[in-house]
Amino acid sequence: QVQLQESGPGLVKPSETLSLTCTVSGVSVSSDTYYWSWIRQPPGKGLEWIGYIYHSGNTNFNPSLKRRVTISVDTSKNQFSLKLSSVTAADTAVYYCARARIAVAYVDYWGQGTLVTVSS
């Protein structure tokens, strides 16, 4: 079955770069049917879309985060990754990786989420 699992440091210092990887099993990230997405949720708050990548490498980002976000895909490892630069305390959140069906933005599988805290 399809599974997504986030991994990466749980603590990042202010002004540094947050880096997370999502390992996908049960489906290839090379599939042309899906977007591979990152979504976050600050503690006690709502969901915020960060961006997504298509198997071709095409990306789309939340305009409010676009200057700081990079999403990449590694088909050899069946993984995709998120980098968020110049982080502040406002970037503290649970970060989810997710699979979405193209054209309809239907998120059908989520990772379990990983808490990233920005603090010195």
Partner 1 sequence: NFMLTQPHSVSGSPGKTVTISCTRSSGSIASNYVQWFQQRPGSAPNTVIYENDQRPSGVPDRFSGSIDTSSNSASLTISGLKTEDEADYYCQSYDAYNWMFGGGTKLTVL
Q: Which residues bind partner 1 (CB under 8 A)?
A: 39, 46-49, 52, 60, 62-63, 96, 104-108, 110-113
Shortest Å, Cβ 80 to partner 1: 16
Q: What are the structure tokens assigned to 47, written together? A: 């969901």
Q: How far is CA 114 from the centre of its chain?
A: 10
Q: Which is nearer to partner 1, 24 or 111 (CB)?
A: 111
Q: Which is nearer to partner 1, 75 or 105 (CB)?
A: 105
Q: Which is nearer to partner 1, 104 or 120 (CB)?
A: 104
Closest of 97, 51, 103, 59 to residue 78, by C-alpha: 97
Question: How many Å apart are CA 17 and CA 83, to the nearest integer?
Answer: 7
Shortest Å, Cβ 111 to partner 1: 7
Question: How many Å apart are CA 72 and CA 59, to the nearest integer?
Answer: 8
- The sign one gets for the Cα dihedral 56, 62, 68, 69 is negative
Shortest Å, Cβ 5 to partner 1: 11
Shortest Å, Cβ 110 to partner 1: 4
